[in-house]
């Protein structure tokens, strides 16, 4: 068997594709899951964050660890209970792993954790955010900041740690793109709010290739903006989707007040935006994107 990679959140959008790519390269893949499941070619270990439980054997003979687990930000209104779940599902899960790993004489070589470009704030206007830009001060920024602090606790165990601040993932199988493409397919695609908010994006395969590079390449450490270049406005993304689908885009923008009525505080996810620059990937690594152009990425999926 190849080197063992343990993934939390392995059944999500990124986790499924990353698992497929790791298996194709000869890795042994295991999941941490809230319940036992039979998944082809993957060993599933149970864990319970609230009870502080991880099934015996999950952290043994472990070479790499990937953390993708977290309550979906874009589903359901942000009640206080849901906001607590969004935060703790990302942070307390890592801290449980930290406690269990501290007991192990042999530890993984590298740990790669998801994070979000919302680290910089839900809406940073036209400001160009690099990895050195300070964190914002809203809810999602707080979540990403605490998420990364928890990841740093893994690094404190002597494990090389990488944090990938993820933008909008372009995939037909989940995330924002299918939701945006659905009205466009029926000829009613429309920008959201002003349409001028920046959308920093990356194709799913490139996202997973970044994870694999971060695991395998010993020079990777710290936080990276996991986005392609250049970003596009919400209006530009809507137009590109309509163009790829050969549909007209003539409907007026969906007004911000309507989105706030429909989604409450969560509307900030689509009304805000970030112009994010992948400075460290471009300047410090040899990584090359398979999908560097937006229309090319959309065409591959839609």
| pLDDT at residue 259, rounded to an integer | 74
Which residue from 73, 74, 44 is spatially nearest to 58, judged by alpha carbons? 44
| pLDDT at residue 265, rounded to an integer | 76
Residue 226 above 80 pLDDT? yes
| Residues 298, 278: Cα–Cα separation, whole Å | 20
Q: In angstroms, what is the C-alpha Rg of the chain?
A: 19
Q: How far is CA 90 from CA 8, 43, 104, 188, 281, in A?
A: 10, 22, 22, 36, 24
First to last CA, the chain: 36
Model confidence at 1, pLDDT cuts 50, 70, 90, reads low
Phi–psi pair at 139, nearest 5 degrees: -60, -50
| pLDDT at residue 228, rounded to an integer | 96
| pLDDT at residue 251, rounded to an integer | 74
| pLDDT at residue 277, rounded to an integer | 97
Give the tens place of pLDDT for each residue, 13-71: 999 999 999 999 999 999 999 887 778 899 999 999 999 999 999 999 999 999 999 99
Give the tens place of pLDDT for each residue, 231-279: 999 999 999 999 999 998 777 788 887 877 777 876 777 778 999 999 9
What pairing do the DSSP bridges indicate for beta strands 232-233 and 198-199?
antiparallel
| pLDDT at residue 249, rounded to an integer | 76
| Residues 234, 243: Cα–Cα separation, whole Å | 14
Q: How far is CA 39 from CA 10, 30, 93, 285, 296, in A?
A: 10, 10, 22, 34, 32
Give the tens place of pLDDT for each residue, 118-167: 999 989 999 999 999 999 999 999 999 999 999 999 999 999 999 999 99
| pLDDT at residue 175, rounded to an integer | 87
For 99, half-sphere exposure in the C-beta direction (CA atoms, 13 angstrom radius) is: 10
Q: Which residue has the tokens 């009870």?
A: 51
Give the tens place of pLDDT for each residue, 181-211: 888 888 888 888 889 999 999 999 999 999 9
Report helix, strand or coil for 147. helix
Q: Which residue has the tokens 């709010």?
A: 193
Please report the domains of the chain, with CATH numbers, ordered by start residue. Answer: 4-234+263-301 (3.40.50.720)
Neighbours of 61 (CB within 10 A): 13
């Amino acid at each position: 068997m190849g080197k063992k990679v343990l993934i939390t959140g392995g059944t999500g959008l990124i986790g499924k594709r990353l698992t497929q790519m790791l298996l194709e390269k000869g890795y042994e893949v295991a999941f941490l899951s809230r319940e036992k499941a039979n998944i082809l070619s993957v060993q599933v270990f149970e864990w319970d964050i609230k009870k502080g439980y991880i099934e015996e054997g999950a952290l043994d003979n472990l070479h790499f660890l990937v953390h993708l687990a977290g309550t979906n930000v874009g589903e359901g209104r942000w009640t206080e209970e849901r906001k607590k779940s969004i935060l703790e599902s990302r942070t307390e899960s890592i801290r449980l792993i930290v406690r269990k790993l501290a007991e192990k004489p042999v530890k993984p070589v590298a740990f790669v954790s998801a994070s979000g470009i919302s680290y910089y704030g839900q809406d940073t206007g036209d400001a160009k955010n690099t990895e050195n830009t300070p964190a914002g001060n809203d809810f999602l920024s707080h979540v990403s900041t605490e998420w990364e602090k928890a990841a740093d606790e893994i690094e404190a165990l002597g494990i090389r740690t990488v944090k990938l601040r993820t933008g909008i993932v372009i995939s037909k199988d989940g995330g924002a793109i299918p939701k945006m493409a659905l009205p466009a397919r029926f000829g009613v695609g429309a920008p959201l709010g002003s349409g001028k908010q920046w959308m920093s994006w990356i194709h799913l395969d490139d996202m997973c290739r970044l994870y694999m590079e971060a695991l395998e390449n010993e020079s990777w450490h710290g936080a990276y903006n996991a986005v392609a270049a250049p970003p596009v406005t919400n209006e530009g993304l809507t137009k590109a989707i309509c163009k790829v689908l050969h549909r007209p885009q003539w409907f007026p923008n969906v007004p911000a007040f309507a989105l706030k009525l429909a989604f409450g505080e969560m509307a900030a996810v689509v009304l805000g935006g970030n112009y994010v620059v992948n400075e460290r990937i471009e300047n410090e690594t040899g990584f090359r994107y398979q999908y560097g152009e937006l229309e090319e990425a959309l065409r591959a999926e839609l």
